[in-house]
Structure 1
Amino acid sequence: MSNSLLRGLRIAYDKGETRALISVCSAHPVVIEAALLHAASRKQPALIEATCNQVNQEGGYTGMTPAGFRDFVFGIADRISFPRDQIILGGDHLGPNPWKSLPPGEALQKASDMIAAYAQAGFTKLHLDASMGCKGEKEHLPDAVVAERAVMLASRAESVAPGQAVYVIGTEIPTPGGATEAFDHVVPTTPDAVRATYHVHEAAFRDALPAAWPRVIGIVVQPGVEFGHEDVAIYQPDAARALVTSLADLPGLVFEAHSTDYQPGTSLAQLKRDGFSILKVGPELSFALREALYGLDAIRNFREPQTISLVSVMEQVMLASPANWQSHYHGDASMQRVLRHFSYSDRIRYYWPVPEAAKAVQDLMQSLGGSAVPETLISQYLPRFFDRVKAGALPAEPEKLQLQSVRDVLDRYETL
């Protein structure tokens, strides 16, 4: 199912159809559930992706192997009766990045073992990213070396699951997790760079792995979208016109856009029309979840003013283990506090699985109970939901409000 759907994206684009898949990149169970519910409501498959740092054969920062992540997603799907065969699992940035401090041979062996684990676990959309230099190499490698290593990784996936995967190439993308500094604009990938990436990969595949080249269905480029801690670069179609035109020179491929978080619906619709048929979103989904949790926390704290707030617990958790934010957030103590909780890059997402944080969320839900939250408190602390709650279209139940906050982001991707 996944191969035919993904391979059909370019066919649809050539027919003038506006079609795109939302690629959800998150390991938060509420985000995954919301993504599956959204897909079910649209009667379409759900594309769920994991990154090489998040999930790998050594556990990644989530502690999950590819098989473990698959079972995690399938467990949520089974609980809400979403068909497993309607889930497309993807692996993002599959290459030596987690081990780039090692010598090339050792790092590439680990990357090869990783992509094999992804393929064996049933992941069928694999982004090949061997662009980074390893120990003793330059930071950015020549295109020919990148392509050679990408084909090596694809060969390993093919040896485990022959003919099962489709591949995405290309590495000119926004900074994973968002930019670290403020920016005025983002320059789209040039047509020459796109064509060079395409041709060098085509040559490498046709030479070493010709049967897999027809299953290379996408290329990651920079369309001019990005988000930082406090800024969002909005898609500018005129600036990307030359890039969009270059798609005509890439038969069978569509563009994959990363960091499309926080783009307005009109921009997402234009990206689809311009051939960006795979739109990746991640931090905005957990950002929206945090907004709902903090709104519910404010409601609970108003009703029970002596209770320790979720905000306070999260602040303590982040200060106790600063590794996931300290090198990213700058400024004075006041600014860092704001960024810890409210940055677009949403590095607070790394802390929800921490036992103290998970318990604080559980306590919040238990304190609010199963009864509906009063409309007037919804109006005050979660106003985006008020009209729907008052009209009876959305139950004022804490769990449903969390899910809807995430689904509102996904719904914006359906704007035409």
Structure 2
Amino acid sequence: KNAEELVYQYTRAGFTKIHLDTSMKVADDPEGVLSTETIARRGVKLYQVCMRAYEDLLKENPEAVRPVFIIGSEVPIPGGAQEAEDTLSVTSPEAFEDTVNTYRRMFKEADAGDGWKDVIAVVVQPGVEFGDDQVFLYDSKAAEALTEQLKKYPEVVFEGHSTDYQSAESLRDMVTDGICILKVGPSLTYAMREAVFALSMMEKELVPAEEQAYLIETLEHVMTDEPGNWQKHYHGSLKELALARKYSFSDRARYYMGDKKVIAAIDKLFGNLRRYTIPMNMLHQYMPLQFDKVRTGSLSMDPKALVQDAILQFLYDYEYAAGYDTDAQIIRGVAEL
């Protein structure tokens, strides 16, 4: 009931892409993994709730966009793997086909046969993931059996999760192979964290100690005072934990960037670096990509602009992967934040 209310409200609010992931067990489910049939039957039930919500929305807004749906349950742990891994298992072609065929059957049994037309993608594990200090790059060959199977179902594409930190070429290979919806998140906040840390290092060189923002130290204090958002995700010695809090690709620090003390430190950092101009040679040391743009006049030296551009560096890889062409204005894939 809670899940039905949740998807109803999301659809009613105008959300147009809904992932029907019903693989998590409820309180009275038996031991063991849920069957594909159970998952699909529950997914179709949620689909019907969403469409009721859409019909209600149309009464208020006749031009409301019809929602589309994602199925599949090969969803990694949010924020990346918690333990170091050696290899990743790619979703088998048989598991993918079983998901598709079972959902089709469940739509028909629920007298919602046309519902399959609203499904645009299936979530799979194509062999990409990241952890504290490791990234598994996409291997087209390793996923070949899976991506070849997709050709039998031209009405859908794959959705890939945890695509953060993939190279531009790896992302483009994923889109070329049919993994056209690329989920991204922690890498963007990681880019922000990395950029404000770089600014903090420059501040230490330029600003008198008594005037400094001490952002890095403030963030560390807030995270250790309130460890709830990282304690279960980071493991190791005290030194390893300290390094993970700062530099982990999982970027649990993102949950603390909205803290009042951290926001105040960032604001002070920006203010300081507007008063104490960053020398070009120092910018080259800490933010070489932004240096090139500042030098040519395409980017302001303003600290906030430098951080924003650092975040864009990751998005450019997704733009490249999606086949975006400045002249032709073509997009072949979608990067989803």
TM-score by length of 1: 0.71
**Offset at residue 139 of structure 1 (A):** 5.5
- The match for 2:281 is 376
Structure-to-structure mapping, 1:351-366, within 5 angstroms: 351-366=256-271
Q: Distance between the aligned counterparts of 1:199 and 1:272, measured in 2?
A: 24
Deviates more, 1:215-224 or 1:294-303: 294-303
Matched-pair contact (CA < 8 Å) for 2:124–2:158? yes
Q: 1:331 aligns with which of 229, 236, 244?
A: 236
Structure-to-structure mapping, 1:192-203, within 5 angstroms: 192-203=94-105
Q: Distance between the aligned counterparts of 1:226 and 1:216, measured in 2?
A: 25
Deviates more, 1:129-138 or 1:265-274: 129-138
**Offset at residue 308 of structure 1 (A):** 4.4
Deviates more, 1:357-366 or 1:252-261: 357-366
Q: 1:260 aligns with which of 163, 166, 173?
A: 163
Structure-to-structure mapping, 1:134-283, within 5 angstroms: 134-137=26-29, 138=31, 140-162=33-55, 164-208=66-110, 209-283=112-186
The ranges of structure 1 where at least 4 consecutive aligned residues each deviate by more than 6 angstroms after the TM superposition are none
Structure-to-structure mapping, 1:64-75, within 5 angstroms: none
Matched-pair contact (CA < 8 Å) for 1:372–1:398? no
Match of 2:263, SS state, is helix
Q: Distance between the aligned counterparts of 1:290 and 1:233, measured in 2?
A: 22
Matched-pair contact (CA < 8 Å) for 2:213–2:269? no
Change (3 A) 1:376 1:187: same
Identity of counterpart residues, as a percentage? 38
Matched-pair contact (CA < 8 Å) for 1:264–1:412? yes
Alignment of 1:129 with 2:34, yes or no, is no
**Offset at residue 377 of structure 1 (A):** 2.1
**Offset at residue 260 of structure 1 (A):** 0.5
**Offset at residue 354 of structure 1 (A):** 1.4
Matched-pair contact (CA < 8 Å) for 1:168–1:218? yes
Match of 1:239, SS state, is coil
Match of 1:236, SS state, is coil
Matched-pair contact (CA < 8 Å) for 1:133–1:141? yes
Supply the RMSD in Å over aligned alpha carbons: 1.5
- The match for 2:333 is none
Query: How many aligned positions are there?
Result: 308
Q: Distance between the aligned counterparts of 1:353 and 1:408, measured in 2?
A: 22
Q: Distance between the aligned counterparts of 1:405 and 1:203, measured in 2?
A: 47
- The match for 2:9 is 117
- The match for 1:302 is 205
**Offset at residue 215 of structure 1 (A):** 0.9
Give, as a single letter, the amino acid of the residue that structure 2 aligns with 1:143.
T
Gaps of 5+ in 1: 1-108
Q: Please identify the structure whose Cα radius of gyration is greater.
A: 2
TM-score by length of 2: 0.88
**Offset at residue 161 of structure 1 (A):** 0.8
Matched-pair contact (CA < 8 Å) for 2:213–2:268? no
Give, as a single letter, the amino acid of the residue that structure 2 aligns with 1:135.
A
Match of 1:369, SS state, is helix
**Offset at residue 372 of structure 1 (A):** 5.8
- Deviation readout 1:290-317 (Å, 9 max, x if unpaired): 1111111112222124124100000000
Q: Distance between the aligned counterparts of 1:371 and 1:392, measured in 2?
A: 20
Q: Distance between the aligned counterparts of 1:328 and 1:412, measured in 2?
A: 27
Deviates more, 1:376-385 or 1:261-270: 376-385
Match of 2:149, SS state, is helix
**Offset at residue 383 of structure 1 (A):** 2.1
Matched-pair contact (CA < 8 Å) for 1:115–1:157? yes
- The match for 2:192 is 289
Deviates more, 1:366-375 or 1:342-351: 366-375
**Offset at residue 142 of structure 1 (A):** 0.7
Change (3 A) 1:404 1:136: same
Match of 2:319, SS state, is coil
- The match for 1:406 is 311
- The match for 2:326 is none
Structure-to-structure mapping, 1:7-156, within 5 angstroms: 109-137=1-29, 138=31, 140-156=33-49
Give, as a single letter, the amino acid of the residue that structure 2 aligns with 1:309.
Y
Match of 2:265, SS state, is helix
